[in-house]
Each structure stands twice: as structure tokens, then as C-alpha cells.
């Protein structure tokens, strides 16, 4: 009798027919059998079964402008409040557009086939198939200019501190308007989840800060603070006996900023470390075009960003994250009980002290 190959040990492809009672868990576990549907299944399982263990610190990176589509409300806030995300790196655009919702400003479903010249004449702004009134930008700009006049903003700070303070004001506005769970910055403030941006000047928030500086405002976002704080956060997770996981939605600068924490620790600071333990990415970028968004976990190993022993615990799902992220979020919320919030924002000084101690030890050698 021919010996059965070890390649044939995988679950037999024989899904049950779908019916009107189909549930998200059954759909992902039993119907997503191959191709990128299978990668989505593997991503959901990795997130649920390993990344959400209590000793794992989960970082989430957000690229582009997901929040205008409501992803902040539908996906990110539930993850924050469930304790499924411990720290975030985002584009400034995501956080700026997130603020619209916290201020009660409306975004509308539209079409990508509208005449943009006509939209401009009618003062309608388009983000692909999302429409909103130009006044939404002006009102959000006015909000940020108003809050950064406050005394607590008149100094140099990291982006996590800035977003925490901004989240406090957005949360207060939500209360005043009688709305709830509309802004991820407000949710991050309430749950003490630190939120960083990799390029503080590359958004309307940064543009307003720069304009206010011309009038004597003292607020300055210091990227050095962010680089060291995020490295300290990862090192602290490891030194406490836990693990570090990255959940990368899209790619771009937030992806690199989250992953560079390990080269900062190992290459630049000379501290003994091995890389992130879990790597999960949703992207539509190819790895062969020179763009970072398609860079694979195995490539990240060569930089020290990912622990080489952890390559089996890495998944890249090549798909549109506006489709796949809600599916993964719905899956883990169905499967997992809430985790206790780590509230890492409160521990930034303690984590920085650990990083500084280890860095001083390496410089003595």
C-alpha cells in the first residue's frame, strides 16, 4: 500500500452548503478553504488563537484613510474596548477623518463616478465613493486649532500624548452631543491605548499645528519621543515574559514605523532581542514592486523585525482590507471573551526607564 504523503494531512475540502442560517464563524472556518479566503481564515485563527493570549501585546497599524468609511466605528473601537488592541500606529489622515465622527459631522455614501468639477462647484469633497461637505474640513480644522490653544498643549510632546489629549476633548464633545463610540481617538483615550502617527506633518492635523506655530503656538510633535517610546513598549512586552504581535492593516509608513521598533532595539541601540513574535498583515500590494506594503514577513526577518523562529506564526492576506478587516473583527469578537485592558499609555515612563537602563548597559560594553 502506498504511504500517504504528509502533504495530504490537511483538512479535506468538503464544505457544507451555505444556507440562511450561516454564521460568520462557520463561514470563515469551514467555507474559506483556499486561495486568499484561506489566508483570511489563517489570519483570523492566528489573531484569535495566539495573538489574543493574555501575555501578548498587540500593535495595530492603520494606513491610508480607512476611517471615512466608518471602519473606526465598526471595527477599531470594538477591538480597543475588547482589549484586543494595545497600541496603534496610524496615518494622520485616519485620525483627522476619525475626528469628524466624534464631532457629529456627517460622511455620506456616494459614487466614484461623479464629476469632480461639479463636486468642487457644490463644495462636496470626495474620497473615492465617500462624499462630505467642505464645511466638515473647516469645522474639524477649527476644532483642532481651538484645543491646541490650551495650556496643556504648549510644549514639545510625542504623538501619543498629543492624541491622548485630543481624545479627551473629542470624548467630551461626544458626551455634549449625546453620541457614543464614534471616534477611535476618544475610545483610545478612555481605554488608555497609546496612538502614534509615523508622520505628524502629513495630515490636516499636522497642517493646523504648523499654521498655529506661525502665530506663536508652542506645540511641537517630537518624532524622537515616538521612536523611543514604541521601542520601549515592545521591549517591555518581551522583558515581562510576554510576546509582541503586529496586526498591519495596509502598509505604508505606519507598517514600517511599527516594525522598526525591533531594529531600533537591536541594530541602533545594541540591545539583545530577536523580533516580533506574531505578524499579521492585510494588504493588496505585491512584494515584487519595491513597495514596503508588500514586503513579506520572511523579508522582515532579514532586518531583525520578525523573530525567525516565529515565521510559522505569520500570515499575509492579499485582499481589500475594507472587506477582510470587518470579517476578522466579527470572527474574534464571536470567539473571544474580552481581555483585561493593558492601558499602556499609563506605563510609558516605566517602559522608557527600562529601555534607557538597557541602552546604558550596551554603551558601557
Q: Name the more confident of 318 and 353.
A: 353
Q: What is the pLDDT of residue 85?
A: 98
**Residue 20 included in any domain:** no
- For range 64-73, the mean pLDDT: 94
Q: What is the pLDDT of residues 207-235, one digit of tens each?
A: 999 999 999 999 999 999 999 999 999 99
**Residue 23 included in any domain:** no
**Residue 11 included in any domain:** no
The CATH number assigned to the domain holding 219 equals 3.40.910.10
Place of cell 518624532: 223
**Residue 1 included in any domain:** no
Does 364 participate in catalysis according to the annotation? no
Predicted TM-score (pTM) of this structure: 0.95
- For range 79-86, the mean pLDDT: 98
**Residue 4 included in any domain:** no
Is pLDDT above 70 for 284?
yes
Q: What is the pLDDT of residue 313?
A: 83
Q: What is the pLDDT of residue 10?
A: 87
Helix (H), strand (E) at residue 332: helix 321-335
Percentage of the residues of the chain whose pLDDT score is greater than 70? 99
Is pLDDT above 70 for 174?
yes
Structurally, the chain folds into a number of domains equal to 1
**Residue 105 included in any domain:** yes
Q: What is the pLDDT of residue 1?
A: 65
- In 3D space, the residue among 207, 208, 251, 246 whose CA is nearest the CA of residue 230 turns out to be 246
Q: What is the pLDDT of residues 323-361, one digit of tens each?
A: 999 999 999 999 999 999 999 999 999 999 999 999 999
287-294 long-range Cβ contacts below 8 angstroms, 24+ apart: 291/251, 292/251, 292/252, 292/255, 292/256, 293/63, 293/250, 293/251, 293/252, 293/255, 294/251
The domain in which residue 55 lies consists of 36-364
- For range 150-163, the mean pLDDT: 98
pLDDT band at 365 (very low <50, low <70, confident <90, very high): low
3-state SS of the chain: helix, strand, coil percent to 5? 55, 15, 35
**Residue 236 included in any domain:** yes
CB 101 within 8 A of CB 73: yes
**Residue 30 included in any domain:** no
Question: Dihedral of the CA atoms 296, 302, 307, 308 (nearest 10)?
Answer: 90
- Average pLDDT, whole number, for the chain? 94
Which residues share a beta bridge with 221? 157
| Active-site hit among 305, 338, 342, 364 | 305
Is pLDDT above 70 for 267?
yes
* Buried b or exposed e, range 240-275, using 16+ CB within 10 angstroms: eebbbbbbbbbbbbbbbbbbbbbbbbbeebebebbb
Amino acid at each position: 500500500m502506498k504511504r500517504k504523503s504528509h502533504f495530504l494531512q490537511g483538512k479535506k475540502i468538503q464544505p457544507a452548503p451555505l444556507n440562511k442560517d450561516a454564521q460568520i464563524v462557520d463561514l470563515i472556518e469551514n467555507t474559506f478553504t483556499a486561495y486568499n479566503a484561506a489566508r483570511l481564515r489563517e489570519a483570523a485563527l492566528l489573531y484569535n488563537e495566539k495573538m489574543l493570549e493574555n501575555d501578548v501585546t498587540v500593535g495595530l497599524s492603520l494606513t491610508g484613510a480607512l476611517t471615512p468609511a466608518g471602519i473606526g466605528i465598526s471595527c477599531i473601537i470594538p477591538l480597543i474596548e475588547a482589549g484586543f488592541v494595545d497600541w496603534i500606529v496610524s496615518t494622520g489622515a485616519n485620525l483627522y477623518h476619525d475626528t469628524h465622527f466624534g464631532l457629529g459631522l456627517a460622511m455620506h455614501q456616494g459614487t466614484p463616478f461623479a464629476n469632480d468639477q461639479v463636486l468642487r462647484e457644490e463644495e462636496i469633497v470626495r474620497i473615492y465613493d465617500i462624499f462630505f461637505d467642505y464645511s466638515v474640513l473647516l469645522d474639524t480644522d477649527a476644532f483642532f486649532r481651538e484645543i491646541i490653544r490650551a495650556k496643556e498643549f504648549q510644549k514639545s510632546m510625542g504623538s501619543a500624548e498629543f492624541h491622548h489629549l485630543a481624545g479627551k476633548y473629542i470624548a467630551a464633545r461626544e458626551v455634549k452631543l449625546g453620541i457614543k463610540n464614534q471616534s477611535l481617538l476618544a475610545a483610545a483615550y478612555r481605554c488608555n491605548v497609546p496612538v502614534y502617527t509615523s508622520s505628524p506633518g502629513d495630515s490636516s492635523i499636522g497642517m493646523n499645528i504648523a499654521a498655529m506655530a506661525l502665530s506663536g503656538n508652542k506645540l511641537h510633535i517630537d518624532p524622537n519621543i515616538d521612536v523611543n517610546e514604541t521601542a520601549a513598549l515592545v521591549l517591555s512586552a518581551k522583558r515581562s515574559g510576554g510576546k509582541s504581535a503586529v496586526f498591519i492593516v495596509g502598509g505604508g509608513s505606519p507598517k514600517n514605523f511599527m516594525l522598526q521598533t525591533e531594529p531600533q532595539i537591536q541594530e541602533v541601540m545594541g540591545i539583545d532581542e530577536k523580533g516580533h513574535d506574531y505578524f499579521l498583515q492585510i494588504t493588496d500590494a505585491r512584494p515584487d514592486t519595491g513597495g514596503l506594503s508588500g514586503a513579506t514577513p520572511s523579508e522582515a526577518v532579514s532586518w531583525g523585525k520578525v523573530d525567525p523562529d516565529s515565521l510559522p506564526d505569520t500570515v499575509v492576506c492579499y485582499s481589500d482590507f475594507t472587506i477582510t478587516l470587518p470579517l476578522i473583527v466579527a470572527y474574534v469578537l464571536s470567539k473571544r471573551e474580552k481581555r483585561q485592558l493593558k492601558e499602556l499609555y499609563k506605563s510609558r515612563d516605566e517602559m522608557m526607564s527600562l529601555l534607557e537602563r538597557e541602552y546604558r548597559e550596551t554603551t558601557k560594553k
